[in-house]
Amino acid sequence: MLQFSTKKALGEYLDQQRQLGKTIGFVPTMGALHEGHASLVKIARKSTDIVTVSVFVNPTQFNDKNDLQNYPRTEEKDCQLLESLGVDAVFLPSVDEMYPEPDTRVFDFAGIDRVMEGEHRPGHFNGVAQVVSRLFDIVNPDKAFFGEKDYQQIAIIKQMVKTLGYKLEIVPCPIVRGADGLALSSRNALLTPEHRAVAPFIHKTLSQVPAMAATKSPAEICNWVVETINSQPLLEAEYFQIVDDETMMPINTFTKGRKSVGCVTVWAGKVRLIDNVVF
């Protein structure tokens, strides 16, 4: 596995591969890698010739300084995992390499950023688009792989791809969970043992709601999810919202033949966890 820390060296390597007729797959991450990230790499490995993974904790997408400071960093372990997965190139840039000048671009996401994570983490998606567009410019992939754990993020990235006219395919990949149902996340490492023990309750609650759609309205289900999660003394729901899969706009009724998704954010002590369920 080749390791790169500069845009120039990685770009030159990938240009050579393209000239050899190879397709490029790209998995952007913030490191502290787990089986969720590994699943994206495995899917990329199957459908593209050269798999590139970036590991970069992007400061512009953190709206909370403490969160950025405490974000787990395990670079050496990450590289070992990526090597074992047969990754061709890992990109480990510094903040200066990614942002020699501050990025002042403001993206228009056609309203997709007005709800859920966009509403509760102001500036977050703009920062995501800043870094992902820079990474796309460097890697110029044929396909880029994103996890459905960050469901709204995929809609944001697709909108950005449309607006900026990138010629690449965004491949959504299923959520990977632990045996107890908790969605794998780099932030799980920050949970206290007590919070880790109750965290699977989030998925357990969400897994009950698709069956409710036949008899209950989205609003009733939202109230039930928030109340049920909050009945656990160690968990506090920030929001649960049911939105249309395409527009990410909150829905008032379920429409037959239209996919919708319920997204939740829960505080487990000082750790903010997200998960979702598709209807």
User: Active-site residues: which are they?
Assistant: 37
Site string for ligand AMP, 200-239 (x = CB under 6 A): ----------------------------------------
Cα-based torsion angle of the residue sequence 119, 184, 187, 235 in order, rounded to the nearest 10 degrees: 70
- Residue closest to ligand AMP, measured at CB: 147
State the helix-helix crossing angle for 151-164 and 124-139, rounded to 10 degrees.
60
* Residue 125 contacts ligand AMP per CB under 6 A: no
Question: And the tokens for 92?
Answer: 């480990």
Contact yes or no for 144/240 (Cβ under 8 A): no
Q: Which stretch binds ligand AMP (CB under 6 A): 67-75, 147-155, 221-229, 262-270?
A: 147-155
User: Closest distance between ligand AMP and the C-beta of residue 216, in Å?
Assistant: 28
In the set 25, 93, 147, 262, which binds ligand AMP (CB under 6 A)?
147
Q: To 5 degrees, how large is the angle CA 260–CA 266–CA 269?
A: 170
Please report, as residue ranges, which positions from 71 to 110 form the binding site for ligand AMP (by CB under 6 A): none
Please report, as residue ranges, which positions from 20 to 59 form the binding site for ligand AMP (by CB under 6 A): 29-30, 36-37, 39-40
Cα-based torsion angle of the residue sequence 249, 255, 256, 259 in order, rounded to the nearest 10 degrees: 10
Please report, as residue ranges, which positions from 1 to 20 form the binding site for ligand AMP (by CB under 6 A): none
Give the number of other Cβ atoms within 10 Å of residue 147's Cβ. 23
DSSP letter string, 90-139: EE---HHHH-SS--------TTGGGSHHHHHSTTHHHHHHHHHHHHHHHH
* Residue 186 contacts ligand AMP per CB under 6 A: yes
User: Closest distance between ligand AMP and the C-beta of residue 184, in Å?
Assistant: 4
User: Closest distance between ligand AMP and the C-beta of residue 255, in Å?
Assistant: 27
**Closer Cβ to ligand AMP, 172 or 210, answer by number:** 172
Comparing C-alpha atoms, which of 126, 147, 145 is closest to residue 136? 145
User: Closest distance between ligand AMP and the C-beta of residue 28, in Å?
Assistant: 6
The residue count of the chain comes to: 279
User: Closest distance between ligand AMP and the C-beta of residue 4, in Å?
Assistant: 18
* Residue 134 contacts ligand AMP per CB under 6 A: no
Comparing C-alpha atoms, which of 184, 79, 41, 61 is closest to residue 132? 61
User: Closest distance between ligand AMP and the C-beta of residue 117, in Å?
Assistant: 12
* Residue 175 contacts ligand AMP per CB under 6 A: yes
Give just the sign of the alpha carbon dihedral 39, 41, 45, 48.
positive
Tell me 176's DSSP state: P
In the set 78, 113, 117, 150, which binds ligand AMP (CB under 6 A)?
150
In the set 92, 184, 206, 277, which binds ligand AMP (CB under 6 A)?
184
Distances (CA, A) of 205 to 56, 220, 242, 254, 264: 33, 14, 14, 19, 11
Task: Return residues touching ligand AMP (CB under 6 A).
Answer: 29-30, 36-37, 39-40, 146-147, 149-150, 173, 175-176, 183-186
